[in-house]
Amino acid sequence: MNFCSACGHTVELRIPAGDSFTRYVCPSCGKVHYQNPLLVVGCVPEWNDQVLLCRRAIEPRRGYWTIPAGFMENDETLAEGAARETMEEAMARVEIQDMFAVVDVVHARQVHVMFRARLLDGRFGAGAESLEVALFDPGDIPWDEIAFLSVRFALEKFLEDRAAGVVRLHTTALERRGGG
């Protein structure tokens, strides 16, 4: 960040009074510019014991498989964001169920929140951010081609819980670089 969004003056990096973190601060108007983690919301859509995955058409990790997920927008709930992302990436309508995974992707300054979901009518297709979309039996998931560690974590926990017949909330933190 170079300039204050409030007055246009050049900002400085410093610890504001009463704070403990270095922030961009405008010496002219005093505005503190906070930079906080972004929320990514997504879901594991299920249809007849299969899960819906999307092959990414965009970077990062173009060509790799993921669940429908993306950045949360203003004026929507976590669940609404997950449903919207599923429509955008997989052209699929889902019923969002319970939250089951929260992943702190520290190095990317993101928090990924994942839900269980049910496809409403079994219809899907590749949206603008997907090369293809497909249903997978658990044994056919292309594990070596999963785009992000957070998605791998979510899929593993989803399948473990489903096999055990339980519903749990799982959390983890990914602090290393290379595929949040």
CA distances from 129 to 132, 142, 145, 152 (A): 9, 19, 17, 19
Whether the pLDDT of residue 51 is over 70: the answer is yes
As a whole number, the mean pLDDT across the chain is: 96
Same domain, 5 and 22: yes
* The pairing of beta strand 170-174 with beta strand 12-14: unpaired
- Tokens in use for 1? 């960040």
Same domain, 83 and 118: yes
Which domain covers residue 30, as residue numbers? 1-35
Assess if residue 180 is contained within a domain: no
Assess if residue 10 is contained within a domain: yes
Number of folded domains in the chain?
A: 2
Assess if residue 102 is contained within a domain: yes
Tens-digit pLDDT profile for residues 7-40 = 999 999 999 999 999 999 999 999 999 999 999 9
Q: What is the pLDDT of residue 175?
A: 83
In eight-state DSSP terms, residue 144 is G
Q: What is the pLDDT of residue 79?
A: 98
Same domain, 19 and 101: no
Whether the pLDDT of residue 176 is over 90: the answer is no
Closest Cα partner for 87 from 36, 30, 45?
45
* The pairing of beta strand 110-119 with beta strand 38-47: parallel
Exposed/middle/buried for 177, CB within 10 Å: 0-12, 13-18, 19+? exposed
Kindly report the backbone phi and psi dihedral angles of residue 52, in degrees, each rounded to the nearest multiple of 5, phi listed first: -95, 125
Same domain, 107 and 129: yes
* Domain at 127, CATH number: 3.90.79.10
Tens-digit pLDDT profile for residues 75-101 = 999 999 999 999 999 999 999 999 999
Assess if residue 28 is contained within a domain: yes
Q: How many CB atoms within 10 Å of residue 106?
A: 15
Cα separation of 122 and 134, whole Å?
11
Assess if residue 179 is contained within a domain: no
Using DSSP, state whether 82 is helix, strand or coil. helix
Q: What percent of the chain has pLDDT over 90?
A: 97
Same domain, 57 and 100: yes
Q: What is the pLDDT of residue 177?
A: 57
Assess if residue 60 is contained within a domain: yes
Same domain, 166 and 130: yes
| Amino acid type, 44 | V
Whether the pLDDT of residue 168 is over 60: the answer is yes
Query: 37 near 111, Cβ under 8 Å?
Result: yes
Same domain, 72 and 100: yes
Rounded to an integer, the average pLDDT of 138-153 is 98
Alpha helices in the chain (DSSP H): 78-90, 149-164
Same domain, 107 and 161: yes
Alpha helices in 51-178 (DSSP H): 78-90, 149-164
Categorize the per-residue pLDDT at 180 as very low, low, confident or very high, splitting at 50, 70 and 90: low
In eight-state DSSP terms, residue 3 is B
- Tokens in use for 92? 């699929």
Same domain, 77 and 134: yes
Same domain, 46 and 13: no
Rounded to an integer, the average pLDDT of 54-72 is 98
